[in-house]
Structure 1
């Protein structure tokens, strides 16, 4: 899947960028999603980061105060699985929704969700949203399927689907 972008990646197009010489295609090479706990007691405060490429996924979780029941976590997996590649292509396919997200809901009691999209020409799109994770449910559901079964769901990816009624 290909998403095009001008040099200033704040101006992202949904299709290929046309130039006099033809079509310029710029592929997404890496997607980073950073999260933070937002307003809460310091014992529960954290920051985390998920990094996804075409052949890998990595996660880092850092509590403000590390304890026995709230330790730092870090893992990474690399694969050449065609299933993972398909999920990555699906993930890239929903990136225009993120890049062009226009909901202006400012929630002051939650942590920000920052998306950093790196393109093959090394340009980046970077934006922080102060929105509930459910606003990005389609994106997060794809990434959750990429997370190995033996690992916890990354905190930044938690949506209402992770809670029982």
Structure 2
């Protein structure tokens, strides 16, 4: 697939919203601990704010006229999971399932990741942080390949 990685525009809003819904179903549908409904209705205002906010980098994978994936990375969103304030956080990272069966999929997901990392460097951040569900072996493998290492492991036991 011939593709470009570019910054998201407001005209991408509907496509990103659909990808966000697919991501939610894809990940939470495989999560044995998730007991909620798989009907997700992220509002357009939330995605619009992500596209327009200077503290958010949103990038899309585009081929022809189609959007196949996106990454959303934030700065200045503190949490307890990383005890350093100088980081960017990859909140969402997704490539549409039917788009993953191409020969250059690693190149696509690598360049999508690198766009988030380069944006973070441009914002003066020293670290990039990302969460991955344990069952998402492909993204865990990708993150290891790009040099991301485990920082903490959250352990869960149903009682």
Which structure shows the higher strand fraction?
1
- Structure number with greater Rg is 1
TM-score of the pair, normalised by structure 1 = 0.29
Which structure shows the higher helix fraction?
2
TM-score of the pair, normalised by structure 2 = 0.29
